[in-house]
Structure 1
Amino acid sequence: MKLLRYGPVGQEKPGILDQSGAIRDLSGVIADVDGSILGPDGLAKLAKLDLASLPLVSGNPRIGPCVGSVSKMICCGLNYSDHAAETGSPIPKEPILFAKAVSAICGPNDDVVIPRGSEKTDWEVELGIVIGTRASYVDEADALNYVAGYCVVNDVSERAYQIERGGQWTKGKSADTFGPIGPYVVTKDEITDVQNLEMFLDVCGTRRQTGNTGTMVFGVAHIVHYISQFMTLMPGDVIATGTPPGVGMGMKPPQFLKAGDSMRLGIAGLGEQNQKVVAWSR
């Protein structure tokens, strides 16, 4: 299943894609696509629906973040060996974890706003894990049982704030609009091998990132297991699993986003995002 949320910001409704790729409204079945329905029982209920009987959503509505009411978004840094190399960093011996504020989360095609004073806003296509079942101290062998599905994440980053301003990475990762997720949550039964998914990101029509989840230093099962040793993962939580090479910071010379730029990114089977970059103004 491909579950999504559509409509104006703050007024998103739950939806599901039918076999033709059309959006069907789920408002009569569930209140939202969130942790309350992402567990095995909730997904089993949705899987039994006759999608043709659901109202067809007309027009071209805005697509919102694919999960609502996310309690936390945890990210893994330097989780692709070739990305670590382009940044001049050693390959981690354990997953590097940091938080992205949930206020950064936005829709997959919403504008990305360059923060006030930013000169080093960067792009990062990433595989997102969506948790379906409360996970605490889970074994790696059982970890995928706690996963509802997967989504595309753009882990937008301000490198000066992340690296040059002291402290942890969170301050460079958490500006408003720095967490586009979606367009949909693809349930894990539709993904044959999550560790063999092609991924890409273009800036202004030029390919910048090309990768495959098979080159992760730490795979999905290990990441879920590992994070659950330090905190309880709740249904609806999102984990961004790291990015392949090709980020602006790693280019020679470095290149960063500016107002008027565009980003297009995607992962095989999980859909695409398209964002316009705009300047901060308030």
Structure 2
Amino acid sequence: MTGSAAPPTFRLAYVPGTTPGKWVRTWDERRPDLPLALVAVSAAEASDVLRDGRADAGIVRLPVDRTYFSAIPLYTETSVVVVPKDHLVTAAEEVVVADLADDVVFHPLDDVLDWTELPGQPAIERPATTEDAIELVAAGVGVLVVPQSLARLHHRKDLTFRPVVDAPQSSVALSWPEEATTDLVDDFIGIVRGRTVNSTRGRTKPESEAKDKRRDDGGAARRKPPPGKKPAGGRTRGGSGTPARRGRPRRKS
């Protein structure tokens, strides 16, 4: 005797720094019959996970291949420089890239910022991950520019960060394979976009609802004559609904 098949789930991939929790809670409230499973992925592997069908949709970092994926931009993050608490840049509320010219600025292999020109002094080696780079910053070897969510994700008590106003920024989006836009994906899109539970987004209503609607509208249509057509029973006086009386024409004297 074989075991029963696993119950269906909606699988949502998410990359480091993103926080899908509020959307997951809304999904759980609206679809208690269908669990939502979170799939943690790196920014680099998110596209492969969606292509392979290991997740139905994902909270990812742009850009994505728009010839294959659909994407709904959600927000753009501020970029910050992560430094030791005694670093000179902490004297300012925000900095520019030029303020980092004399610092070793790490560029980890999983960097999500699209630099046209790397800031500061290059490191001897590129750290494998952002987490590794954070460890080097804590050791006083250099600094790191990342989206603010990643600075918070890898927060340490001995480090702080400041906004870098002219650094590249990272945008976050909901993405999924365009050819795999299922009803479940559409349901999650509605949650992300803030649609209410009663919104159908153009979906066909059940036939019973359609019949009720036709019945309600039909009664109103019968009571109200079409524009330009006289109501049954002849003319009325003053809109009272009483038929106008016809009298004999007066004779001329």
Q: Shorter chain as normaliser: what TM range?
A: under 0.3
TM-score after normalising by structure 1: 0.21
TM-score after normalising by structure 2: 0.23
Higher strand share: 1
